[in-house]
Amino acid sequence: MARLKVSPSAASSSGRFRRSRRAPPPADRTSSKPRSRLLRGFRSVAGQVFALQVLVVLLLVVAAVLALVLQGERDDTREARNRSVAVAQTFANSPGIVVALESPNPTAILQPRALAAQHASGVDFIVVLNDDGIRYTHPNPARIGQKFVGTYEPALHGQVVIQQLTGTLGPLVQAVVPVDDTNGKVVGMVSAGITIHKVSGVVNHQLPLVFGAAAIALALATVGAALASRRLLHQTHGLGPAEMTRMYEHHDAVLHAVREGVLIIADDGRLLLANDEARRLLDLPPDAEGRPVTELGLDREAAEQLASGAIVNDEVLVAGDRLLVVNTRPTDRDGGPDGTVATLRDSTELHAVSGKAQAARKRLQLLYDATVAVGTTLDVTRTAEELADFAIPRFADYVTVDLAVPVLRGEEPAPGEDAPMQRAAVSGIRQDPPFYPVGEVITILPATPQALSLNSGHPVLDADLRSSTAWLAQDPERAGRVLEYGVHSVVRVPLRARGVLLGLAKFWRADPSERFDEDDLSIAEEVAARAALSIDNARRYTREHAMAVTLQRSLLPHGLPEQNALEVAFRYLPAQADVSGDWFDVIPLPGARVALVVGDVVGHGLHAAATMGRLRTAVLNFSTLDLPPDELLGHLDELVSRLDQDQTASPNGDAVTGASCLYAIYDPGSQLCTMARAGHPPPALVHPDGTVEFPDVPAGPPLGLGGLPFAAAQLRLPADSTLVLYTDGLVEDRERDIEEGLVLLGRSLRHAGRAPEEICEAVLAALLPPRPVDDIALLVARTRVLTSGQVAQWEVPADSAAVGEVRAAVSRQLTQWGLEEMAFVTELILSELVTNAIRYATEPISVRLLRDRTLICEVSDSSSTSPHLRYAASMDEGGRGLFLVSQFAERWGTRHTANGKVIWAEQILP
């Protein structure tokens, strides 16, 4: 710590204090330790500046010498390169060299000439090479005929090769140039080389001169630095950097500190120094320095406090009309001069600033909390409730939120439309406020403060409801109850977002709370603005979600078709956050069979719902072709790939990111269920005894990958077996993986004798998450079988005479079923179908008659050729068989099997 000595005269004249001059040491006390004095000299600012100057000059001189040496080395290398290239090119272009290279003995001609040229040019060697790199000449005859050491191949293509390497002669530069004949063909090469030391003599001779000049420059710089340091030593009085820094910081802290007064008081109570802020706070006279503190006109208590020299921490003193916070500390610590340092702060201004800061901090905290607490969901009503709950009790005693009726439906109120308001939320410090209840529809009357706020779009403050009469016109009876309840002031703020008026928020205060003021009005406006944006976001989401759900539900089946093969129940639950692309279908097929379909389009929103509708329509269309499940998924996969390509090609199209599907066909006659899946979870099978298994259905790739095959699995299902199809939203969510979900699903299905509706309820109760993030489709089907009394079957030989026998057997069977009136048409249909099978198909041929919801006639054969309906002309003898079948039957068609085909026809039962 710097030790300071302050004279009263100096302090009073300038308001500054100076460090006393250091007295020179007496002559008889000269130090006998010159080494210590030298060290102290170098610790001073002057000594350090001198050392720094000498060091900088020395570094500059060394850098200059190094630069000159390096430049000389570069010049030597460049000179060696130029000389070797020049000598090689001169020798290569000398007269007779081409003739010598083409002579029988080139060495005899070229060796003398090369040695002569070497001595004349001053290079170390000249070597002539043939186009294979074999030396014809060399200063050492023993190396003639050997391979040239170095790179020469580019010279064969007419280039000049320059290399810098270290050979037997030391570091050298060699050049290889081509020798061209008159036709421009390279017939040989010439290499010339010279060592670096032959061209480096100039710099080596200049080095003594360079070092001498450097020494002279260093000496001159040292003398100049010594003179400058001596002058600096005189001006700084031998102070070191740390001492000067401490003195400057102390001086700056006293003279230039702002918004805080500083006093230095001697131990005898005299004022030694007062800065400008202290003069202002204490209203000191100009000649205050040097006078006793008790004579400066201060309050007696304040003067005695400052002059006592006692340590004070944040004491409040009265100085005129100001309240000052005073702190005092002694100055004699660590051997310093006796006295006291006092700091003064104006607590009056500080209190005002603190009050404003506290209010601003409270306001910012309130707005931040509103941002966090309001708008946590995308539900309009919940957002209004969050606004009402947030403001209680930190800002208001009661809050009511009214929203336009279209807003609650997700719609946007039309501009200029006076839409009725509906009470969306009420909150307060008590549970029985006298306001309209939630759900009440309120019509705002003109010329009321509520209407004024809505029309102007600005908040309205009623600081005293008892003296205000305009608001009573809305509902005088209820207004009276509000006043009786103790409510005394209100702030009405319209909820506007993106230029749309959404509703009105009212903040109420009651006794004993303070009344609202203008500052509260601005806070309420900002809170309402943030809440209005959240309400509008929720409204827009509600609208989009409602549109997506409406579209999705319009694309899903609205009921189950009539069929007897399966007892079916289903559940479909859209996600709460956003709709997805899940779907299901129950499709009756010919032959009393039924197809079950469950699928899922990846993604959410309108695009996923629209894609789901397209895929569901495609499955319905493909099912009319009566394709096996694996073939149908193959066609569906190709369709998804084509849709993806079309969407990708569109500038604003969203690609189909993928889909999964499970397709199953159940035949109640054979009790066989054939199924295939494309990236979909496996089905669950509940046996009649209640045991559950997940059949091993081959897991094909998701739809849209293209090119990959699908495989089908075939299961025999006993009567009263239950097949459960579902989408991944049932068994998988953010808190549960699919493996755990399958375990829970199997556990919920492990009961015997339950109806499909009961199974649906049990599964959803066990697996439905609180807030589904994905759609859930669940399809439960209990199997039924056709009894022997509902099926009749005959084998038919490939003989036309067998047609009559089939007709007779069919007639008898129809009589047993009580369907005699259908015998003629049925016999006619079977006659045509059986005749075609005998005439055009191959054995075995069979006829099956099914009595279900319709009468079904089936003729099967081993041929894969499908018949085609023809329209015969009036003179044609044939071609009318299938035409008659199509006229008499309700429906007819063909389906292919693994062993052939089946032609079927259906008739409506009477």
Q: Which of 425, 376, 427, 423 is nearest to 538 (CA)?
A: 376
What was the pLDDT predicted at 447? 76
| Distance from the Cα of residue 853 to its chain's centroid | 57
- What whole-number distance in Å separates Cα of residue 894 and Cα of residue 886? 12
What was the pLDDT predicted at 31? 44
**pLDDT per residue over 213-256, tens digit each?**
777 877 877 777 777 777 666 666 666 677 767 766 666 665 65
DSSP 753-790: S--HHHHHHHHHHHH--SS-SS-EEEEEEEE----GGG
Q: Which residues of the chain have pLDDT under 70?
A: 1-43, 45-46, 200-207, 210, 231-240, 244, 247-259, 333-336, 348-359, 416-418, 577-579, 647-657, 707, 866, 868-881
- What whole-number distance in Å separates Cα of residue 375 and Cα of residue 386? 7
3-state secondary structure 458-511: CCEEECCCCCCCHHHHCCHHHHHHHHHCCEEEEEEEEEEECCEEEEEEEEEEEC
From residue 454, how far is each of 449, 504, 505 by CA, in Å?
A: 9, 7, 10
> 441 is written with which tokens?
């529809």
3-state secondary structure 26-54: CHHHCCCCHHHHHHHHHHCHHHHHHHHHH
| DSSP H or E stretch at residue 220 | helix 201-236
Contact 626, 589 (CB under 8 A): yes
What was the pLDDT predicted at 786? 87
- In 309-318, which positions are buried (b, 16+ CB within 10 angstroms) versus exposed (e)? beebeeeebe
Q: Which of 541, 559, 487 is nearest to 516 (CA)?
A: 487
Task: Tell me the helices (H) and strands (E) count for the chain, helix number first.
Answer: 23, 31
What was the pLDDT predicted at 693? 94
What was the pLDDT predicted at 353? 59
What was the pLDDT predicted at 352? 58
CB neighbour list of residue 257: distance below 8 Å, 6 or more residues apart: 275, 277
- What whole-number distance in Å separates Cα of residue 123 and Cα of residue 193? 6
> 791 is written with which tokens?
């099926």
Contact 848, 897 (CB under 8 A): no
Q: What's this model's pTM, rounded to 2 decimal places? A: 0.53
3-state secondary structure of 674: strand
What was the pLDDT predicted at 599? 92
What was the pLDDT predicted at 206? 63
CB neighbour list of residue 192: distance below 8 Å, 6 or more residues apart: 84, 85, 87, 88, 91, 121, 123, 125, 126, 127, 174, 175
**pLDDT per residue over 571-598, tens digit each?**
988 877 666 788 899 999 988 899 999 9
What was the pLDDT predicted at 508? 92
Task: Report the DSSP beta bridge partners of residue 171.
Answer: 166
Pairing relationship of beta strands 271-274 and 672-678 according to DSSP bridges: unpaired
Q: Which of 715, 682, 686, 685 is nearest to 698 (CA)?
A: 682
- What whole-number distance in Å separates Cα of residue 389 and Cα of residue 374? 9
Q: Which of 413, 782, 411 is nearest to 596 (CA)?
A: 782
Contact 235, 68 (CB under 8 A): no
Contact 862, 900 (CB under 8 A): yes
Question: How many Cα atoms occupy the beta-carbon half-sphere of 92 within 13 Å?
Answer: 27
Contact 264, 341 (CB under 8 A): yes
What was the pLDDT predicted at 5? 37
3-state secondary structure of 742: helix
Task: Report the DSSP beta bridge partners of residue 340.
Answer: 265, 330
What was the pLDDT predicted at 802? 83
Contact 859, 568 (CB under 8 A): no
Maximal C-alpha separation, the chain: 157
Contact 732, 722 (CB under 8 A): no
Crossing angle between the packed helical segments 518-555 and 380-390, to the nearest 10 degrees: 160
With vertex at residue 736, the alpha carbon angle to CA 732 and CA 740, rounded to the nearest 5 degrees, is 85
Crossing angle between the packed helical segments 518-555 and 606-624, to the nearest 10 degrees: 10
E-strand stretches of 320-420: 322-330, 340-346, 398-404
848, burial (CB in 10 Å: exposed 0-12, middle 13-18, buried 19+) = middle
- What whole-number distance in Å separates Cα of residue 84 and Cα of residue 381? 94
- C-alpha distance across the termini of the chain, in Å: 118
